[in-house]
Amino acid sequence: MHSCAACKHLRRRCDSSCELAPFFPLENPQRFKVVHEVFGRSNVSKMLREIDPSQRENTVDSLVYEVEAHLRDPFNGYLDYVHNLEHQLKELQKEMDNVKSELTKYPSREITQYVMN
């Protein structure tokens, strides 16, 4: 019986010393599969050993995110997603500025104070 997706994928016996088990649960085998295909088990293990234990879960999440973004768009990876978010943020900021400008036209003191903050 395997206790992690990494050991099952690699057809290894998983024991309590498995450093990948906390990050690649058996219930989500695709998570390890995609990371393994791009980075390899030994590289992932090495990365995890070299960083602070408190940062390991975030690191694995980042690796998974990066690989999935690369699979969606091999040329740009996650950069298109980031650019789209930046564009949305700029558009929302413009909209917020327009709303604030409209609100200042009303004589309510409370609204004016709220808009200026």
Check whether residue 36 and residue 67 sit in a common domain.
yes
Rg of the chain over CA atoms, in angstroms?
23
pLDDT digits (tens, 9 = 90+) for 8-38: 999 999 988 899 999 999 999 999 999 999 9
Residue of 92, 90, 70 lying closest to 81 (CA atoms):
70
pLDDT digits (tens, 9 = 90+) for 47-86: 999 999 999 999 999 999 989 888 888 888 778 888 999 9
Answer for the pair 81, 69: CB distance below 8 angstroms, yes or no: yes
Check whether residue 7 and residue 63 sit in a common domain.
yes
Domain coverage including residue 104: 80-117
Check whether residue 6 and residue 61 sit in a common domain.
yes
Check whether residue 47 and residue 65 sit in a common domain.
yes
Check whether residue 65 and residue 88 sit in a common domain.
no
pTM for this predicted structure = 0.65
